[in-house]
Structure formats: structure tokens, C-alpha cells
Amino acid sequence: MRKADLHIHTDASDDASQTIESVFARAAEIGLTAVTISDHEGMVQWAAGRRLAHKHGLIFLPGIEISSSWNEELVHVLGFFPRGAGQAFERFLRESVWQERRRVQTEVLAHLMRDGAPLTLAEFEAEVQTNPSGTFHLPLYRLLKRKGMVSNAMDYVVMRNEVGVAFHYPTVQEVIEGVHAGGGIVVLAHPGNTAPGFHQFTTDEIATLADAGLDGIEVFHRSHDEEKTQMYAGAADRAGIAKFGGSDSHHANSRPGNLVGDHYCDWDEVLRVIEGD
């Protein structure tokens, strides 16, 4: 089997710390064939991914992870763009994802300012301008960290939740349509994730999503034990969709099981999806 780790985060995700250079160095060292950088709601690392893949003799499949909803519970969806993302997808991101992130941050900022926090809208806007999309390393999180009000991303999430500003995520169906409009492949990420707030998918729900255009599911993932892996592999086969997988690695110093290449899928099965076979 040619191994592919198609779910990796870099420090362009607000909850990850590893550099893209360290990702590719490890991928080459352990003999992976292909990798995907799938940072949250962002594509900023794609150019570097292509360059480093060429340097290390690897295949790079550009990707992204998008937060969505199913039955009012959180779901992560992976989008893969072997030929790059079209303008329709970028418009979907801007209108359905990035604007929502900005709304949440500005509402949290307003609440903190009313409580007397030493923050200004101008400071927030300056952080936004360092990355106009406003999606990577959340501008408000960066500002709060610089001010010493939070020490890490989890502190920020706790503060945001205490303020009570809720995200309104696009539905899984809307993400499927948005990724397909941009020429991408849509994969349901870690459908058996037991983390608080996440929806755990049944095999019947997988079949429903396959009928709605889902191209694959992330069968091989650290949140799936052997029973879940077999269940979702069977669901994918019955629905006629592909079995994807990846480490979902966030940090270079993680414990074994969470490192680049610790979970993977068959690159040749994925390649058949990319080539339309």
C-alpha cells in the first residue's frame, strides 16, 4: 500500500503548533506517498505545500477542514482540491464561513470592551489586516494573547463560550454543495468522534449523505477504535464511496498516535476518486 496522511494541521490552524516544514520532513522520513494540509477554514499553506512536496519527493493534495452542522451538532468536513479551488468555493468560504467567524469575534470583543477590557476595535482591525481573510490564527485570539488575557487557543475558546456567542455553522449539505461548486472532493471527517458537541454518524446517515453527494468518509482516524473503523469501512463500501484517513496531527511533540503518519489511508484508492474512476 502507498500510504497517504490526508488530514494534517499546521500552525495556520488556531489550535495547532507544528510548522509545515516539520510536517513534510517527517512525512518524507517515514515514507509517506502523499499528504494533505487541511487547516481549519483556510488555504494559506497550499503554496508552501506544493513547494515542499516537490522538495521532498511527495505528492501534495490541497485540503481544508470546515466546521458544519448536522441535527444542530458539530461536524467537521474535509474538502480536497486536486486542481485547486475555484472562485465558487472561495465565495462560499467568504460568505458562509469567514463572515461568521468575524461576526463571532466582533461580538466577543464588544462584550469584553463593555466589561472594561483594555481592547479597542482599531486593535482588532489591525490584527485582521495582517491576514485579510480573518481566518487563520483568529485575529481576536491573537490580540487577546498579545494582551496577556489568554495563554493558548483553549483559553480563548473557554472565554468565548463564557461570553455566550454561538457559531452558526453551514449545514453538511451546504458544505457538500460549496466544495463541489469549487471542483473539490467532499469527505466526512472522523464520523465517530466522541468529543463533546460532535455528532456521531450512523451507517444509515452515511448512506443518506452519500446520496446527497458525499465522496468519502474518514475511516482511519485516531478517534476510531477497531470496531468503528470496521463499521465505517463497511458503510463506505456499501454506499460506494471512498475510504479516506489521516492522523489529524496538530503538534510535532504529540504522543504516539497523534503524529504525522500515525494514521493513513490507501493513496491508490483516493487516486481513483481524483481521476474519476
Q: pLDDT tens for residues 46-66?
A: 999 999 999 999 999 999 999
Residues 254, 178 share a domain: yes
Name which of 60, 68, 21 is nearest 40 in CA terms: 68
Residues 151, 82 share a domain: no
User: Rounded to whole angstroms, how far apart are CA atoms 109 and 103?
Assistant: 10
Given a cut of 90, is residue 135 above it in pLDDT? no
Residues 179, 72 share a domain: yes
User: Rounded to whole angstroms, how far apart are CA atoms 202 and 185?
Assistant: 21
252 band by pLDDT with thresholds 50, 70 and 90: very high
Given a cut of 90, is residue 122 above it in pLDDT? yes
Name which of 213, 232, 216, 233 is nearest 274 in CA terms: 216
User: Rounded to whole angstroms, how far apart are CA atoms 265 and 218?
Assistant: 9
Instruction: Say which CATH number the domain at 210 has.
Output: 3.20.20.140
Average pLDDT over residues 109-131: 91
Tally of helices (H runs) and strands (E runs) in the chain: 11, 9
Q: What is the pLDDT of residue 14?
A: 79
Residues 73, 21 share a domain: yes
User: Rounded to whole angstroms, how far apart are CA atoms 225 and 202?
Assistant: 15
Q: What is the pLDDT of residue 134?
A: 47
Residues 177, 158 share a domain: no
Residues 243, 131 share a domain: no
Domain span at residue 19 reads 3-90+169-274
Residues 237, 146 share a domain: no
Q: What is the pLDDT of residue 276?
A: 80
CB 190 within 8 A of CB 216: no
Q: What is the pLDDT of residue 245?
A: 98
Residues 158, 174 share a domain: no
